[in-house]
Chains A and B, each alone.
Chain A
Amino acid sequence: MKLLLTTILLIFGIFSSKAQIDDFPIVKYNDINEGTFSIDSTADAIVLLEKGRTFIQSSDVDRAYMVYHTHKIRIKIINKEGFKHANFTLPLYKYGSTFERIESIKGITHNLENGKINATSLENKNIFSENNSAYIKLSKFTLPNIKEGSIIDVEYTIISPDIFNFRTWNFQSDIPKIRSEYNVLIPAVYKYNVTLKGGLKLTDTKSKIENACLTIYNSRVDCSNITYSMDSIPAFIEEPYMLASKNYLSAVYFELEEAIVAGGSKQSFTKKWSDVDRELLTEKSFGGQIKKQDIFKEKIAPSIFATEDLYSKANMIYSWIQKNIKWNNTYGKYSQYGIEEALKTKNGNVADINLALIAALNAAGLDAYPILVSTRNNGLPNNLHPVISDFNYVIAGLKIDDNIIQLDATDRLLPFAQLPLRAINGKGRIIYNKKSSEWIPLTNQIISIANYIFNGKLSLDGTISGELTINSFGLEAYNKRNDILEYASMEEYTEKLDERLPHIDFEKTEILNLEDTQNVLSIVTDVIIQTNQKLINGNNFYINPIFIDRTTRNPFNLDNRTYDVDLGAKRIETYEINIQMPEGVSLVSAPKNVNLKLPENSAKYIYTSDYTDNVLSVEQFLSLAKSIYTTDEYFGLKEVFSRIIQQLKVDYTFKYESK
Chain B
Amino acid sequence: MNRFNLVITTIIATALLCSNISMGQQYAVELIPKGLKSRASAIVRDEQITLDMKNEANISHIVTKAITILNPAGDQYAAMVLSYNKSVSIKDIKGQILDEFGMPIGKFTSKDFKDYSASDQVSMYDDVRIKHYDPNINTYPYTIVYTYESKHSQNLFIPYWQPNKYSDVAVEKSSYTFSCQPTLNIRIKEQNIPNKVELETTEKYKSYTWTATNINAQKAEPYAPIEKKDAIVVKIAPESFKYFKKQGTASDWNSLGKWFYDDLLKDKQDLPLATIAKMKDLTANAKTTKEKAEIIYKYMQNKTRYISIQVGIGGLEPFPASYVDRLGYGDCKALVNYTQALLSAVDINSVYCIVEAGNNKVSLDESFANAVDGNHIILCIPMEKDSIWLECTSNKHPFGYLGDFTDDRLVLACTAEGGKIWRTATYPSHKNIQIRKAYFDINKEGSLKGKMHTTFSGTQFDNHYSNVFRSPIEQVKALKSYYDVDNITFNTVNYQITDTDSPKLTEDLAIAIKNYVVKNENQLILQPNIFNITRNIPESKNRSNAVYINRGYTDIDEIEYTLESELAGKITPIEKVINCPMGKYELRIFSEGTKVTIKRYISINQGEYSADSYQQFYDFMKEVSASDRIKYTLNLAHN
**A interface residues, Cβ below 8 angstroms from B:** 42-44, 79-81, 83, 87, 126, 128, 130-133, 140, 142, 144-147, 237, 322-329, 345-347, 412, 485-489, 492, 496, 498-503, 532, 542, 552-554, 557, 559, 589, 591-592, 641-642, 645-647, 649-651, 653
Contacts and interface: CB of A to CB of B under 8 A. Distances in A.
B305 A83 contact: yes
The 6 A-B residue pairs with the shortest CB-CB distance, nearest first, are A499-B538, A326-B138, A42-B471, A145-B328, A128-B125, A144-B327
26 contacts: A42-B472, A80-B396, A81-B470, A128-B125, A128-B309, A133-B114, A144-B327, A145-B327, A145-B328, A146-B329, A147-B303, A323-B138, A323-B139, A347-B136, A485-B71, A485-B73, A488-B41, A488-B70, A488-B217, A499-B222, A499-B540, A502-B536, A557-B486, A589-B523, A650-B518, A651-B631
Contacts, number: 147
Contacts of B320: none
B518 A646 contact: yes
B413 interface: no
Nearest to A646: B518
Nearest to A147: B302
Contacts of B631: 542, 649, 651
Given A130-B125, A144-B328, A553 B525 contact: no
A80 B397 CA distance: 12
Contact of B73 (A237, A487, A641, A645): A487
A653 B329 contact: no
Interface string B73-107: 11000000000000000000000000000000110
Given A346-B138, A347-B106, A146 B486 contact: no
A140 B309 CA distance: 11
B138 A412 contact: yes
B471 A43 contact: yes
Interface string B35-54: 00001110000000000000
B489 A498 contact: no
B473 interface: yes
Interface string B462-501: 0000000111110010001000101111000000000000
Contacts of B489: 559
A92 to B, nearest CB: 14
Contacts of A502: 536, 538-539, 618, 622, 625
A488 B307 contact: no
B80 to A, nearest CB: 15
Given A144-B327, A557-B486, A591-B520, A642 B136 contact: no
Nearest to B539: A499
B72 interface: yes
Nearest to B466: A81
B329 A559 contact: no
Contacts of A500: 538
B125 A146 contact: no
B326 interface: yes
Contact of B106 (A133, A346, A485): A346
Given A42-B472, A554-B487, A327 B72 contact: no
Interface stretch (B116-124, B345-353, B581-589): B116-124
A592 B138 CA distance: 50
Contacts of A552: 486
A354 to B, nearest CB: 15
Interface string B56-78: 00000000000000111110000
A448 B627 CA distance: 35
A79 B539 contact: no
A326 B136 contact: yes
Given A81-B470, A130-B125, 15 more contacts: A42-B471, A128-B309, A144-B328, A147-B302, A147-B328, A324-B138, A328-B134, A345-B105, A412-B138, A488-B168, A488-B217, A498-B539, A552-B486, A641-B486, A653-B633
Contacts of B514: 642
B515 interface: yes
Contacts of B70: 488
Given A323-B139, A488-B168, A140 B106 contact: no
Interface string B219-249: 1001000000000000000000000000000
A346 B328 contact: no
Contacts of A557: 480, 484, 486, 488
Contacts of A489: 39, 71
B282 interface: no
Contacts of B41: 488
B521 A589 contact: yes
Contacts of A327: 136
Interface in B551-605: none
Contacts of B527: 649
A133 to B, nearest CB: 6
Contacts of A325: 138
A325 B523 CA distance: 61
Contacts of B212: none
Contacts of B139: 323, 346
B626 interface: yes
A326 B521 CA distance: 58
**Which of B138, B527, B631: most chain A CB closer than 10 A?**
B138
B395 interface: yes
A243 to B, nearest CB: 20
A144 B486 contact: no
A344 to B, nearest CB: 8
Contacts of B523: 589
Nearest to A651: B631
Given A346-B106, A502-B539, A146 B72 contact: no
B301 to A, nearest CB: 9
A40 B40 CA distance: 55
A492 B39 contact: yes
Contacts of A83: 305
A327 B138 CA distance: 9
A458 to B, nearest CB: 18
B316 interface: no
A489 B72 CA distance: 10
**Which of B124, B328, B472, B486: most chain A CB closer than 10 A?**
B486
Contacts of B470: 81
Contacts of A646: 486, 515, 518
A147 B395 CA distance: 11
A645 B395 contact: no
B473 A80 contact: no
Interface in B133-185: 134, 136-139, 168
Contacts of A647: 518
Contacts of B117: 130-132
Nearest to A42: B471
**Which of A132, A488, A542, A645: most chain B CB closer than 10 A?**
A488
Contacts of B219: 492
Contacts of B119: 130
Contacts of A488: 39-41, 70-71, 73-74, 168, 217
Contacts of A485: 71-73
Nearest to B311: A128
Nearest to A639: B487
B327 A126 contact: yes
Contacts of A326: 136-138
Interface string B299-323: 0001101010100000000000000
Nearest to B70: A488
Contact of B328 (A79, A146, A329): A146
Given A128-B124, A142-B307, A346 B105 contact: yes
A47 to B, nearest CB: 16
A80 B328 CA distance: 13
A89 to B, nearest CB: 8
Contacts of B471: 42-44, 81
A174 to B, nearest CB: 12
Interface in B322-336: 326-329
A133 B486 contact: no
Contacts of B168: 488
Contact of B124 (A79, A142, A412, A492): A142
